[in-house]
Amino acid sequence: MNIWRIAVKELMMFRDVKMLVFMLATPVLLMLIMGSLLSSAFNGSVAVGDIRVLYSDHSEDGSIGADWELWLRQSGTENMVFEKFEGSDAEAMEGVRDGSYSGYAALNPSGFHYYGNSRSSIENSMVSGILSAFADRYKLSIAGAEPELESMVPGSYVKETRLKGSHMPAAMDYFAVAVTTMIILYSAATAGNLIDSERTRNTAIRLLASPISKGEIFVGKIVGTMVLNAGFIAMIMLISKYMYDANWGDNLPMVWLVLLSEIAFALSLGLGISYIVKGKASGIVIMTIIQLACFFGGSYYRIEDNGDFVSMLAPYSPLTWSNEALMDLIYGGETGAAITASALNLGVAAAMLLISAVMMRRREGL
Amino acid sequence: MNVLQLKKLTKKYGEFAAVDQLTLAVQEGEIFGLLGANGAGKSTTINMIASLIPITKGEIELLGKNIAKNGKFAKSNIGIVPQELAIYEDMTAYENVRFFAGLYGLRGPELKRRAEEALAFTGLSDKHRSYPRDFSGGMKRRLNIACAIAHRPKLIIMDEPTVGIDPHSRNYILNSVRKLNEMGSTIIYTSHYMEEVEELCTRIAILDHGKVIAEGTKAQLKSIITDQKEIRIDVRSATGLDTRKLSEIAGVRTVTVNDEQNSVSISTDAEVNILNRIIQGLMAADIEIRSVEESQPSLETVFLTLTGRSLRDS
Ligand SMILES: Nc1ncnc2c1ncn2[C@@H]1O[C@H](COP(=O)(O)OP(=O)(O)O)[C@@H](O)[C@H]1O
Ligand SMILES: [Mg+2]
């Protein structure tokens, strides 16, 4: 009951319509700017590092492999390393999924199959181009022996599969998700201020003088802020859906699980840091973490898995967990990453809350 | 019956004792004044009574129960008006009172009625739906009080509730303290304004360096100093007066100039009669005298005598 009262109070304190409009306008405008104005640059201007592709030779006499290597040497593909792979298709695909390779080409006399990592879109198109070119020549050279292949439509000889998801999100679809997760992370900054705001307003005195426990105050404030943020995020989702036609997929409950777990993560992170790092410094620490996480988490542009500095650090950004989980969920219908990301978010949240609770009990006041 | 009993109450910050072995009893129905200069330990004492800070040593009993062992009971029976404003600017006056009263277990129609009563009591009925951010300083102070009384505590503690407000709100607050008292609440009132405490309180403890240096009714406190009398001289302007000259007159103990009121207060030994010499001294200094009044020592003098400092200056 007391927890409820405190939670409701948190909600009541936020009724300023002007403030709400402003808070909604920020992400909505960001989506517009990044999703439409930057869409020409989307996936186009990213530097391509060394591309590593696996291939396997499925011909009985190893003739395709030999032709392929010859072709590669002649066509002079710089920046691309093709490695012959002797293991099973499944193993090769695993290497693609975990990002060690941009793709895997299975060269079969009856047709080539290319498996590309869905995050490496530029690389994929480059490799597909090379494969198609090779396929055309290969078809010519084997035309005499296997005449029925000639009837194939040019280009269809190479079958392409994206290992994660069937199609790629458009810029607006991507930024609808990325901006939403970024805005959620920014709520860590307000959470850092959650208890401190009661202190500076002296209302902490009244709360502590009343016959409710510190724990109730603590939980009530977190629950209230959680609800507030969830409502706010729901509004952003709706706006992005109806204004920009952003794609949030079919599995909304799962999308919500990821977003809610990220809200819990962000709030407890801010709160935890405000207890661990005392005073003004905590605000700076929180903002630094938020901004690094946004930069490495793909909030400003989509991180290509190309082995550069940013993409190497990307997996450590909490936003990467959530963003990738949501992309998988929306574009691949896969729930595995969503569950992992939610568990990670909630796990960190629990740890941070525990730290805050322990430190609060030791402290005089709130 | 004792509503509150402090037994050798001590609060230390490191080696420094902010409150030092304080023993006090507040009886039911009293308006008990805690008088002391800034830093005397008034707020620290109050914060321990309200369980806001831990006690270093000693005991506090509220209505006969040790508050360390009966935390909820004690908190439920105390209403605290903090020295600093403690209200939410982004909730209406009514919502503020309602929220804080709700923390004491009130709910439903009763909560509503009590919250409205508290607002009416502090003269804020017509500000029900207004936000405190639009209030004057005095109205905020009154809301600060309303938030502390809606749950009808047995003991109301007010920590300097009149600091920095207009005379109208100040009178309103002093009157509401009396009314609250008449309605049955025991009140602890701290202040460093001598006149307020003198006007309001039935019993007073003077605090200095965390210790009670005197305690009793006004009459009892004043009787501490029987060997002294007060001369108050109203002048046209006391600026430029060299008080040292007056102090040199044999029998004069202290000379205080009150610039605002254009008056000079002089305390002298009770047995001597040196009024004419004082007047001569003032005339020699070209000070125009308007009236002269001889009186019993005020609380200010008591404080001055006991601590060696003026309350105003400290
Ligand atoms: N948290 C604290 N840490 C250290 N010293 C403190 C603290 N709180 C109060 N004090 C000191 O204790 C003394 C009494 O303070 P306080 O009770 O606020 O005085 P008052 O309310 O009578 O003006 C002051 O000297 C003050 O500096
Ligand atoms: Mg004080």
Q: Could you report the per-residue pLDDT of A293-324, keeping only the tens digit for each?
A: 888 888 887 777 667 777 777 888 888 888 88
Question: Do residues A157 and A176 share a domain?
Answer: no
pLDDT score, position A212: 93
The structural domain count of chain B equals: 2
Q: Which ligand has an atom closest to residue B17 CA?
A: 1
Nearest to B100 among A13, A210, A365 (CB): A210
Give the angle B111-B114-B116 at the CA atoms, nearest 5°: 105
Tell me whether residue B309 is in a domain.
no
> In this predicted structure, what is the pLDDT of residue B11?
96
Same domain? B206 vs B241: no
Cα-Cα-Cα-Cα dihedral sign, residues A201, A204, A209, A211: positive
In a domain, residue B312? The reply is no
- What does pLDDT average to over chain A? 80
Determine, for residues B75 and A210 on separate chains, whether the beta-carbon distance falls below 8 Å: yes
Q: Inform me whether the pLDDT recorded for A290 exceeds 50.
A: yes
Q: Which two tokens stand for residue B313?
A: 């200056």
Q: At what angle do helices A336-362 and A318-327 cross, to 10 degrees?
A: 150
CATH number of the domain to which B188 belongs:
3.40.50.300
| Ligand 1 atom nearest residue B14's Cα | 4
C-alpha B38 to ligand 2 mean position (Å): 7
Per the structure, the complete domain to which residue A270 belongs is given by 2-39+170-362
Residues B139 and B231 in one domain: no
Q: Which of B54, B78, B86 lies nearest to residue A201, judging by beta carbons?
A: B86
pLDDT for B78: 96
What is the maximum alpha-carbon separation in chain A? 93
Question: Is B119 a member of any domain?
Answer: yes
What angle (nearest 5°) sits at the alpha carbon of residue B47, between those of residues B41 and B48? 95
DSSP element (H, E) containing B93: helix B93-102
Compute CA distances A263 → A258, B180, B283, whole Å.
Answer: 9, 46, 78
Q: Which residues of A touch B80 (CB under 8 A)?
A: 205-206, 209
pLDDT at A240 over 60: yes
Which ligand 1 atom minimizes the distance to the CA of B38? 23
As for the ipTM of the complex, it is 0.80
Report the separation in Å between the CA atom of B312 and the middle of ligand 2, taken as the mean of its atom positions: 15
Residue B296 and residue B229 in contact, taking contact as beta carbons nearer than 8 Å: yes
With respect to residue B242, please indicate whether it lies within any of the assigned structural domains: yes
Q: Which residues of A touch B99 (CB under 8 A)?
A: 5, 9, 12
Closest CA to A141 of A70, A199, A209: A70
Question: A212 to chain B, minimum CA–CA distance in Å?
Answer: 7
Residue B192 Cβ < 6 Å to ligand 1: no
CB contacts of A2 in chain B (<8 Å) are 103
Q: Is A45 inside a domain boundary?
A: no
Residue with tokens 């105390």, as numbered in its chain: B78
Ligand 1, atom 25: closest residue by C-alpha? B39
- The pTM (predicted TM-score) of the whole model is 0.72
Q: Does B131 touch chain A (CB under 8 A)?
A: no
Look at residues B222, B257, B279 and tell me which one is the last residue of a structural domain: B222
- Is the C-beta atom of B43 inside 6 A of ligand 1? yes
For the stretch A100-113, pLDDT in tens is: 787 888 888 777 77
Q: Please give the Cα distance from A55 to B277 (Å, whole number).
A: 116
Sheet of strand A80-84: strand arrangement: A80-84, A51-57, A103-108, A111-116, A158-162
pLDDT bin (cut points 50, 70, 90) of residue A35 is: confident
**Which residue of B87, B88, B104 is in closest CB contact with A210?**
B104
Comparing C-alpha atoms, which of B241, B236, B256, B262 is closest to residue B314? Answer: B256
Asked if residue A214 and residue A127 are part of one domain, the reply reads no
Q: Give the number of other CB atoms < 10 A from CB of residue B118.
A: 26
Which among B47, B257, B60 has a CA at the least distance from the CA of A202?
B47
> Which residue, A145, A163, A181, sits at the end of a domain?
A163
Quick check: B100 and A365 CB within 8 A? no
Our answer on whether the CB atom of B171 is closer than 6 Å to any ligand 1 atom is no
Which DSSP state fits B287? P
B36 lines ligand 1 (CB under 6 A): yes
Output the domain CATH number for residue B244.
3.30.70.100
Instruction: Tell me how far the alpha carbon of residue A192 lies from the centroid of ligand 1, in angstroms.
Output: 27
Do B53 and B202 lie in a common domain? yes
Count of the separate structural domains present in chain A = 2
Q: Do A210 and B71 touch (CB under 8 A)?
A: no
- Smallest CA separation from ligand 1 atom 3, residue: B13
Residue-wise pLDDT tens digits, A191-233: 888 888 898 999 999 999 999 998 899 899 999 999 999 999 9
So what's the pLDDT on residue A155?
Answer: 40
Domain boundary among A120, A147, A163: A163
Of A13, A201, A209, the CB nearest to B52: A209
Distance CA A72, CA B51 (A): 80
Is A72 in the same domain as A203? no
| CA-proximal residue: ligand 1, atom 24 (nearest) | B39
Same domain, A159 and A186: no
* Whether residues A35 and A56 fall in one domain: no
| Percentage of chain B lying above the pLDDT 70 cut | 97
* Chain segment B79-109, per-residue pLDDT in tens: 999 989 999 999 999 999 999 999 999 989 9
